[in-house]
Every structure is written in structure tokens, then in C-alpha cells.
A and B are shown apart, each in its own frame.
Chain A
Amino acid sequence: MDTILRELEAGHRLGSGHRLAAALTPIDTPEHPDRLKSFYFFSNAAQLSTSLRYYISHLSGVRIPKEDLNAWVDIFSAYWKAIGEIVNFDEIPSRASWANVFDSWKDLANVLIRAYTNPGLEAWTIPCLYVVGKYLRVFASKADAESLSQGSVAYSEDDMFTDFGKNAKTEESARVLNRMFTLCLNDRAAMEESRKWGVYYMSNLLFKTYFKINAVGLSKNLLRALNAQSQDLPDKERYPRSHIVTFNYFVGVIFFLDENYAEAETHLAYAWNYCQKHAIKNKELILTYLVPCHLVNTHTLPSKKLLNDFPRLEKLFRPLCDCIRKGDLHGFDAAMSAGEEEFVRRRIYLPLERGRDIALRNLFRKVFIAGGFEEPKDGQPPIRRTRIPVAEFAAALRIGTHADARTRVDIDEVECLLSNLIYKGLMKGYIARERGMIVLSKGGTAFPGTGV
């Protein structure tokens, strides 16, 4: 018997949504290299509906209610057509195109959405939504890449008025995925049989899609919709970890792009802590954003151990970290411009740039430490010198920026940098301008949080 149909049967017999969804997975597997073809050739357009109906109504050990039977026949008919478009790549390459695959897969998605409305298929089958949604996105992306590569070819005659948006199909897929999301979110059934268990998976698919078409802003509508329903949703801990870790990653990145690094860190840290240990690529993506967050929020740097498994990140972040630690402003600027392209592409340039303040803090902190201690008064523990000439900070700045003999460092500029650090809470003290001195706070709080 055909593999796909066997999967369909197993899913129903075991009542397993994932087994059922396996049937709707449009790929060949190593075990079944002709999986798609053999399904496509099991019938033809004229007899498809009849043979599917016969097959599905005679599944061994399962009675499928009449209205569900119709739905499944419709779903697998649409699926069969989509598979036909994929099989074309092997059979009739001249007629095969990802645009066709996408269009027919979108029809399948719409049939599926219809099957879930009023009251529709039981909730245990929602992994079918997952897999159809997942591949809708994949095919959209392939179709867009295809039309991009054909470029001028598509630009002829009757195609004149079609949408030439670079991501036309992906945008189309976003609208369909959004309907799937709503379908899950607005299900009113009791929680045990509710499609609400699918909201986070569908959100994740939408996030991925919005990120792809550079419409991250749309993600916020999604978060708003989820928030509005938060009373009716089960605790996140009860959802599959794979859904929630992914969800937290995206929410973290969304806050990150809004420069809300505190919120971003909460979500990214959750994703990091609960990410599957061996999912190296996902962990790397989480750290890409978590490291800059951590730098901004806690002024701490990733250890060698943390980046050990991620050579790409080690290469990306280590030069910056070393310069921050040494207070080497010149090196920091060089590392920022060396990595600029990559930082901008990953959208982490802005928070990393804030590392310059930390580098400057560390440079000025060295001035403070180099200043040594006051003459100890009898019996008292030694106190660090807390009145420091601005000129010393100016000299440190010359060292830190590798200033040569011709470069001038303005005292005004130094004062400005100092007051900036004081304002940001990285230094504690005040500037006594008339005396050209900085008066720093005593008692180990001159550079808060650094022990001096």
C-alpha cells in the first residue's frame, strides 16, 4: 500500500496528530525515496475523489464521521494536486515551477482552514496545520527566489500588471498563516480539545515570515492578540518546549530591535536556558542577541567557555571584548568597523556600540587605580586618591585612542566624556571645573560595581 496513505491510516488509528501530519509532509525520505511519486500515481484526476473516499472510509479499525470524511477527501485531493506539481520537477521539468507548487499548496492550506471551521476537525489533528503552514512558507520562499532569478523573463507581455514585489508569495503566505493563527487563537472549545494548543507554533511561523519580508512591526499585532487572550491560554510551561523556546527567541529579538534590552534579555535567557542542548545553530542565534543584551544590561562579557562551541561568535565578539576589557578605544573602534557589515546584517551594531562606554569606563578606572592611595591617617585603612586632575584623564584618553603628537585632546571634550559616564552611572563623582579636578566618590563606589 502507498506510504502516504499508510501514514494517513496510522494517524487516524492511533489518534496521533503527528502521524497524520507525517502523511501531509511533502518530502521523500531516505526510507521511501519515491514516497511522493507513488502517492501521485496511485490515482488520476478523474478518479481521485472516488478512490480517496473509498480508501478513507475503509480505514482499518477507524470510523470517520461523514462530515469529517468529506473534509479529509477534500484535503487529500488538494494535497494530491500539490504533490503533482512537485513531482513535475522530475516528470515534466519544463512545466514545473515553484510558483505552481506554492499556488497549489496554498489551495491545500485554504481547504484545511475550511475543514477546521464550524466546528470542524478535532483538535488532535492540528499538527496538520503545522506541517501545511510550515511548507507554505518554504514553498513561498522558493517561488520568490525563482521569480527573482527569472527576473526579466517574467517581465513580459501579460505579466505587466502582476505584483513585482520581491516577496510577493511570502507576503501571500503570511496572510494565510495569519488565518491559521486566528483559527487556533479563537477556538472556543474546552482546553483539552482546543486548537489553542497551536497558537505558539503558528506565531513562530508568522514571526519567521515577518522577519523574512522585513515586516517585524507586524509581529507586534500578533503579540497584542496573544496578550488580549492571555487569560484564556494555558500556562506556557504546559506547551511543548520546542514551541515555547522558539517563541521566546522571537519575542526576545523583537524587544531587542526595539532597543528594549531588559525585556529582550528575559526572553532570550529563557530561550537559552531551555533550548535543546544539541541544537547548536539555534543556540548560536540566541547568543547572537543575548551577548549584546548582556553587555548593555549588566556590563559583563561572554567567557571563553560560553563561546567555546560557537567559533563564529567567538570570532565576532572576542576582539571587541578584549578591547573593552583593556580600555583600548582605538582597538574597539577598529573592531567595530572591521565587523560593521556583519553587525549591521545581524542588527546588533547599536547595542555593541554601547560597549565603547564600558571601554572608556575601564580606561578611566585605570587612571583611578594608577592614582594610588592617600597618606594613611593613623590607624585608618588606606583610602584611594579621589581627587584627580582632568589632565590625567586627558592623557589616558590619548593613550586609549593612540593619539599621536599632532592630535589635540580638548579638555572640554574630556569633561564631556566624564560627565557622560557620570550621568550613565558608570562613574560616581563631580567635576570641579575651577580647579580642573574630578572629585570621585569615596568608599569603593567611584566606579560602581567594579570593586573600586
Chain B
Amino acid sequence: MSNTQSQDTKQQEASQQPQQQKPTVLEEDDEFEDFPVDGESSARVSDTDPSFSSLNFISPLKMHWPENETEQATANGNNVHLWEESWDDDDAAEDFSKQLKEELKKVDASSS
């Protein structure tokens, strides 16, 4: 009898444990984050800010970060430098040629 009781208490304790965590971090690790410009995350009140208008949410100017805040503007058409060819035309061609000849010899030797 006392057995079941102690189990109950344990359960109660256990159920209280995690609930004592305080609400803290609300965002997750691997997730695409909200951009801060939306203003939705700021709960500040400044009643005199004139930049808010009734069409705030559809006015592209208000809702965009400026062009120069984007990667495109930074790259300025120089996107080429961000990607490289996948092959190497380096000076090691000689080395490879030598290596290849040795390997061919080895194969010849073992098959004869």
C-alpha cells in the first residue's frame, strides 16, 4: 500500500520538476529566423513615431531592408568570385604524369 503511495508522490514530484523552468528561449536552433525589420518582434511603444501609417504593412518601402543591405548589392555583379571551377590546372601535372607511369609499370609487372 505504501508502495503505490510513494509512487504517486514520485510522479507528482516528477511532474512538477520540468514545470519550474522559466520561459526563456523561444527560438529553435536550426530554423530560419524572422528578420528583425518586421517590427513585429519589438514591443516598444513610441507613440510619436511618424513613420507608421495605416498602409504600413503593404508599403514596400517601409517593409524592405534597403538594396544595399543585401548580398546582391554587395556582390555588385561580381558573383563569379563566390564560386570556383572544380578542377585544378596546377603545376602538379608533371607529378601526376610520373605517378601514372609508375602505376602503369606496376600493373604491367604484376600481370606479366
Tell me if B70 and A275 are in contact (CB < 8 A): yes
Are A301 and B86 neighbours in the complex by a CB distance under 8 Å?
yes
Contact in complex: A19, B64 (CB < 8 Å): no
Tell me if A126 and B57 are in contact (CB < 8 A).
yes
Q: With an 8 A cutoff between CB atoms, is A285 at the interface?
A: yes
CB neighbours (8 Å) of A169 from chain B are none
Q: Which residues of B contact A237 (CB under 8 A)?
A: 60
In the complex, A302→B96 CA distance in Å?
25
B97 on the A face (CB < 8 A): yes
B69 touches A277 (CB 8 A): yes
Which residue of chain A has the shortest Cβ distance to B87 in the bound complex? A362
On chain B, the residues within 8 Å of A179 by CB distance are none
How many residues on A have C-beta within 8 angstroms of the other chain's C-beta atoms? Answer: 100
A283 to B49, CA, bound (A): 31
- Are B104 and A392 in contact, CB atoms less than 8 angstroms apart? yes
How many interface residues does B have (CB within 8 Å)?
Answer: 66
CB-CB contacts below 8 Å: A1-44 with B: 3, 6-7, 10, 13-19, 21-23, 25, 27, 29, 31-32, 35
B76 to A: closest C-beta gap in Å: 12
Cβ-defined contact, B82 with A303, below 8 A: yes
Partner of B33, one of A23, A281, A305: A281
B40/A303 in contact, CB under 8 A: no
Which of these, B33, B54, B57, B87, contacts A127 with CB under 8 Å? B57
B16 at the interface (CB under 8 A from A): yes
> Is the pair B23, A86 in contact by a Cβ cutoff of 8 Å?
yes
Per-residue B-contact encoding for A152-191, CB less than 8 Å = 1, 0 else: 0100100000000000000000000000000000000000
Tell me if A238 is interfacial: C-beta within 8 Å of chain B.
Answer: yes
- Complex-state Cα separation, A134 to B38, whole angstroms: 13
- Min distance, Cβ B83 to any Cβ of chain A, angstroms: 4
Supposing A6-B45, A274-B70 touch, asked if A301 and B63 sit within 8 A by C-beta, the answer is no
**Do A450 and B85 touch across chains, with their CB atoms under 8 A apart?**
yes
Whether a CB of chain B sits under 8 angstroms from the CB of A213 is no
How many angstroms between the C-alpha atoms of A230 and B87 in the bound complex? 43
A240-B43 in contact (CB<8A): no
Q: Is the CB of A124 within 8 A of B70?
A: no
Known A126-B57, A282-B33, A370-B100; judge A301-B44 contact (CB<8 A): no
Residue A249 CB within 8 A of the other chain = yes
Interface membership of chain B positions 38-61, coded 1 if the CB is closer than 8 angstroms to chain A and 0 otherwise: 111111110101001111111010
Q: Do B22 and A89 have beta carbons less than 8 Å apart?
A: yes
Most B CB contacts (10 A, CB to CB) among A17, A90, A238 go to A17
Complex partner residue of A242 from B34, B49, B74, CB under 8 angstroms: B34
A93 touches B54 (CB 8 A): no
Query: B84 contacts A300, CB within 8 Å?
Result: yes
Instruction: Please tell me if the beta carbons of B32 and A285 are within 8 angstroms of each other in the complex.
Output: yes
Contacts of A21 in B (CB 8 A): 40
Nearest chain B CB to A361 CB, angstrom units:
8
Smallest CB gap from B70: residue in A: A274
Interface membership of B3, Cβ < 8 A: no
Closest beta carbon of chain A to B80's beta carbon, Å: 9
B18 to chain A, nearest CB (A): 5
Report chain B residues within 8 Å CB of A146: 18-19
Is B1 in contact with chain A by the CB < 8 A criterion? Answer: no
| 26 chain-A/chain-B pairs, Cβ below 8 angstroms | A3-B45, A14-B54, A15-B52, A16-B53, A18-B39, A32-B43, A90-B22, A93-B16, A93-B20, A94-B19, A97-B19, A142-B23, A242-B63, A249-B32, A274-B72, A275-B71, A282-B35, A294-B83, A301-B86, A362-B88, A366-B93, A370-B97, A391-B104, A395-B103, A396-B103, A398-B107
Closest 10 CB pairs of A and B: A15-B54, A240-B63, A370-B97, A242-B35, A16-B52, A395-B103, A273-B72, A306-B82, A18-B39, A300-B83
Enumerate chain A interface residues (CB-CB to B < 8 A): 3, 6-7, 10, 13-19, 21-23, 25, 27, 29, 31-32, 35, 86, 89-90, 93-94, 96-97, 124, 126-127, 130-131, 134-135, 138, 141-142, 146, 149-150, 153, 156, 192, 197, 204, 208, 237-242, 245-246, 249-250, 272-279, 281-283, 285, 294-295, 298-303, 305-306, 321, 324-326, 358, 361-362, 365-367, 369-370, 391-392, 394-396, 398-399, 405, 450-451
